[in-house]
Structure 1
Amino acid sequence: MALENSVLSSRPESLSLPVSEKGEGPVGEAEPATPTGVFDVSEELGRVVTTDTAAPPQPTPRSFQSKLAAREAQAATPQPRKKAQGAGSEKGKFGWGRSRRKRQRYVEKNGRCNVQHGNMRETYRYLTDIFTTLVDLNWRCSLFVFVMAYAVTWLFFGAIWYLIAYCRGDLDHLEDETWTPCVNNVNGFISAFLFSIETETTIGYGHRVITDQCPVGTMLLLLQAILGSMVNAFMVGCMFVKISQPNKRAETLVFSRNAVISLRDERLCLMFRVGDLRSSHIVGANMRAKLIKSKQTQEGEFIPLDQTDISVGFETGDDRLFLVSPLVISHEIDSRSPFWDMSQAQLEKDDFEIVVILEGMVEATGMTCQARSSYLAEEVLWGHRFSPMMSLAEGFFDVDYGAFHHTFEVDTPSCSARELSLAAARLEAHLYWSISSRLDEEKWDGPNLTEHLEKQPGSGSANGKGGVGTTFTVGETSESQDQSGQGEQNGSVATDQSESEA
């Protein structure tokens, strides 16, 4: 203890302790004036202790085997891991922990609805609408059904033609020229199968021909021709509708990668961009938006995927688009908006999904088309604006789709739209009352007030009576003020000069 007091008494008043950048190694050394010890600041004990300096140990030579054994032992020993920020989390602008975990989308970016129906008991309903069921199948299943529809009918009728020839004995009289078969040149199943294909497809090579000595074959020929036409119409119609599906037209309708929130005409607006890559336009295009967010009602009911409408100009007609060039769709965040109380800090920790839907009629085919996309909470950029992408060229407007997804930062308040509206209302009220007060002060201040009072017919100096003088109106109520006391004038009191000068 005496040694510690002696060292502390000889320590200078200002002692600088160098600190390493990574926080590892010795804390620092004392100044050269005290070579007997090193001051070590202990964060846990909060006091200064002294340790004697010692000469650094000299490295002892080791063999290769010992170095290898030490390295293996060090690798086998578990090293304490530093607590670092994980790759799956990030810090927002306001310090909120924002998880980068992939949220399960309700609608994918390409418009596919991420919903699967399970435990369905009434699957027979698919067969009642077999045409739509075949159209909704993927291409692999559709091609398989297409091939099997023709192959099965050919094989079925081929087997019947072979059975007729076998029952009539045509196969036993192949070399008999006096025998009249049902179908000429049908000598086996393969020839009967080929005749079935020729009949259904109306090829008619002329080698295998039905004769008039077989009424059963005539009836079968009529039945196969009718059923073959129905199969052709059904399958060709399915393939045509599947090829010309409107959702393929939606592949050329693109949405911006991110949505932005910024000021537009001094109001916070949620905006995203939509464009059409084709020169053929979408007729009667209209835009809709939905907010997908779980909520709990006041009665305690939990709604996992509640859908709230987001107005994009339905009242004003701005939702009906003339989609010739890329457009920025804007949603004004007002008191009816679900984002009325959302600030930038709340956006960083909120969890929701915005589904946008573009509908219209394809100009080339006249079929209705629908394109969909979605934006998660982390895909909404606060304080950004879309870059311009249209320029005027020689005789036309040039659209640069390379800047379709580009945004840039702009000055945007981080408060919610409600707070911004309240602040604007307070500022407007403050300016109104301050201007009114200044006008009243200039009107009633100094000699102007005395001259005005002297000119009043009811003033004491004019008629010698100290009765009623100037009449003041507050709101809609009129009161007579005594002239003996002038009272306090303010911005809310207006002078009623209904009694004009005599």
Structure 2
Amino acid sequence: MSALRRKFGEDYQVVNTNRGTSYTAPVKKKRQRFVEKNGRCNVQHGNLGGETSRYISDLFTTLVDLKWRWNLLIFILTYTIAWLVMASMWWIIAYIRGDLNHGHDQSYTPCVANVYNFPSAFLFFIETEATIGYGYRYITEKCPEGIILFLFQSLLGSIVDAFLIGCMFIKMSQPKKRAETLMFSQDAVISQRDGKLCLMFRVGNLRNSHMVSAQIRCKLIKSRQTPEGEFLPLDQCELDVGFGTGADQLFLVSPLTICHEINPKSPFFDLSQRSLTNEQFEIVVILEGIVETTGMTCQARTSYTEDEVLWGHRFLPVMSLEEGFFRVDYSQFHNTFEVPTPLYSVKEYEEKTSLPSPGGHAHAGGGARAAGPGLLGGLHRHHRGAGGEAAQQAAADELREGGPPAQGAEDGPAARRQGLQHGRPAAQAPARGLRPRPRRRRGAAAAPGPQAQLRAPDPVHRGPAEAQSGGACPGPRPSSR
């Protein structure tokens, strides 16, 4: 299927030209970015006024930062003007001394031999400046002003060469081109990793040479308003990509997936799939490292807007094991696939898990967080009434009233049947291991209740003889009074 792509300013439209079919894709509005996908910052400085003189004070950096076409133009113009000026000075010396009138007089000794017009003076300067060597034209010893001009020309030529050639060398050896071989995934994804909701993107290195001390950083660019009413149009917030664990230090020999965990400290704590479509933000990614071959610091940048963040996706694997080496398939570098992912935010999940259960029992020990791995564990888990302060208080009240404390569901079917015989369902039994002793009168014998029939008392309440025989707990000991 062939397609004709037409550009209309900042918007584009794809038109299908197949016969018998007609389809027009919706017009895509261009998103105003702070940092372009290629890393160029979309910022222009204006109304500098008198501050433009600062660029002249740092002339070398100004020339290096210029585009190549301006550098080449300045390079050619500087050398051309310098050559013409110095050739004119040699011609002026020959004109003042009258050497031009004795150009072919063999008995006359000029300042520069065989210089009798401007072209010959220009050729003499080029032979001197380029150290080609003297042949037909040379300086004589009877011209002190020519010797002084020769020294000045040598010093000026060395300065111009050092400045312009050094500028061109620095510009050619800049590590910006090294950043062209550092890749970022076209989109970022939000899915679960290790049971936690994470924002992820992929980076890769196309060259075999390594990036020494590679480090990744992420900035969230988003407008916000402070409680005092101040509006911050481009507020920058740091995204944690493993600062505490060292995950931000990369060994970039193969594509890596950078992960930002969405937790209460993350600015995406309340981000859900529905709110993602209404948000406006930009994630700026900065990858820095030292080029192994040159030792210079290289920086690669890119950004992801809210429409480039895919909810419920994961990157396709690109590594495969071949015979004796690992192979990276960069054709799958940008591809993703859908995975089951909760549609709500981490904040909504924590609010749901912190609410009490319908039975009135609170979630003990942090609720679902202790029972399952993070957000995924809470999707398919039913909370059990494990008991708490309310269950303990209910068991103590029943024991004070003389009721038999039946065992919970953990004690098995026999315990549940025993609890039903005494007129109370087993689901209301107190938690296992909570057996407060009932109060009794002083001197009265303790009758063995259903609790003693179900299980033997704890060994800490037995005497030496009962501990050996395993009998029931005897009556109260006689008072010492």
**TM-score of the pair, normalised by structure 2:** 0.73
2:288 corresponds in structure 1 to 359
State how far apart, in whole Å, the 2-side matches of 1:443 and 1:281 are: 68
1:434-471 per-position Cα deviation (integer Å, ceiling 9, x unaligned): 37853479897676999xxxx999875995258xx9xx
1:327 aligns with 2:279: no
Provide structure 2 residue ranges, at least 5 long, that are not aligned to the other structure. Answer: 1-23, 354-365, 372-381, 389-407, 423-434, 452-456, 464-481
Q: Deviations over 1:418-445 (max 9, x none)?
A: 1233445544587463378534798976
Moved more, 427-436 or 411-420: 427-436
Residue ranges of structure 1 left out of the alignment (5+ in a row): 1-84, 89-99, 470-482, 487-495
Match of 2:444 in 1: 464
User: Cα offset for 1:194?
Assistant: 1.3
State the match for 1:408 in structure 2: 337
Contact 2:182 2:206 in 1 (8 A): yes
Residue of structure 1 equivalent to 2:34: 106
1:117 paired to 2:69: no
CA contact 1:247–1:370 (8 Å) conserved in 2: yes
Match of 1:418 in 2: 347
Kindly report which structure 2 residues correspond to 1:276-425, keeping only aligned pairs within 5 A, or say none: 276-423=205-352
Letter matched to residue 252 of structure 2: L
Distance 2:144 2:436 in 1: 126
8 Å Cα contact 2:210/2:253 also seen in 1: yes
Distance 1:310 1:435 in 2: 40
The Cα of 1:177 is off from its aligned counterpart by 1.7
1:176: how far off? Answer: 2.2
**1:317 maps to amino acid:** G
CA distance in structure 2 between the aligned counterparts of 1:312 and 1:439, rounded to whole angstroms: 43
Question: Counterpart of 2:41 in 1: which secondary structure?
Answer: coil
Residue 500 (structure 1) shift: 1.6
Deviation, 1:497, is: 6.3
Q: Distance in 2 between matches of 1:392 and 1:410?
A: 25
Question: What corresponds to 2:462 in structure 1?
Answer: 501
2:396 aligns with none
Cα distance in 1, alignment partners of residues 254 and 368 from structure 2 = 39
SS at match of 2:215: strand
Counterpart pick for 1:433 among 366, 370, 385 = 385
Could you tell me how far apart the structure 1 residues matched to 2:418 and 2:266 are? 55
Secondary structure of 1:124's partner? Answer: helix
C-alpha distance in 2 between matches for 1:457 and 1:188? 126
Partner of 1:191: 120
Q: Give how far 1:201 is off.
A: 1.3
Q: What SS does the corresponding residue of 1:194 show, helix, strand or coil?
A: helix
The C-alpha deviation readout for 1:144-196, integer Å capped at 9, x for no partner, is 11111211111111010000000011011223222110000101111111111
For these two proteins, the number of residue pairs brought into alignment is 380
Letter in 2 for 1:500: H
Any idea what the Cα deviations from partners look like across 1:321-374, whole Å, max 9, x if unmatched? 000000000000011100000000000111111100000000000000000000
Q: Secondary structure at the match of 1:290?
A: strand
Which of 239, 261, 275 is matched with 2:204 structurally?
275
Report the CA distance between 1:131 and its aligned residue.
Answer: 0.9
Displacement after TM superposition at 1:501 (Å): 1.9
CA distance in 2, matches of 1:456, 1:222: 108
Identity of aligned residues (%): 56
Is 1:130 paired with 2:53? no
Q: Whole-Å Cα distance in 2 between the matches of residues 408 and 231 of structure 1?
A: 58
Question: 1:204 corresponds to which residue?
Answer: 133
What is the alpha-carbon distance in structure 2 between the residues aligned to residue 337 and residue 445 of structure 1? 47
CA distance in 2 between partners of 1:447 and 1:257 (Å): 65
Q: Compute the displacement of 1:86 (Å).
A: 9.6
Corresponding residue of 1:238: 167
Structure number, greater radius of gyration: 1
Secondary structure of 1:283's partner?
strand
CA distance in 1, matches of 2:75, 2:436: 103
Equivalent residue for 2:100? Answer: 171
Offset at residue 233 of structure 1 (A) = 1.4
Return closer, same or farther for 1:459/1:107 CA change in 2, 3 Å cut-off.
closer
Q: Which residue of 1 aligns with 2:110?
A: 181
Letter in 1 for 2:156: L
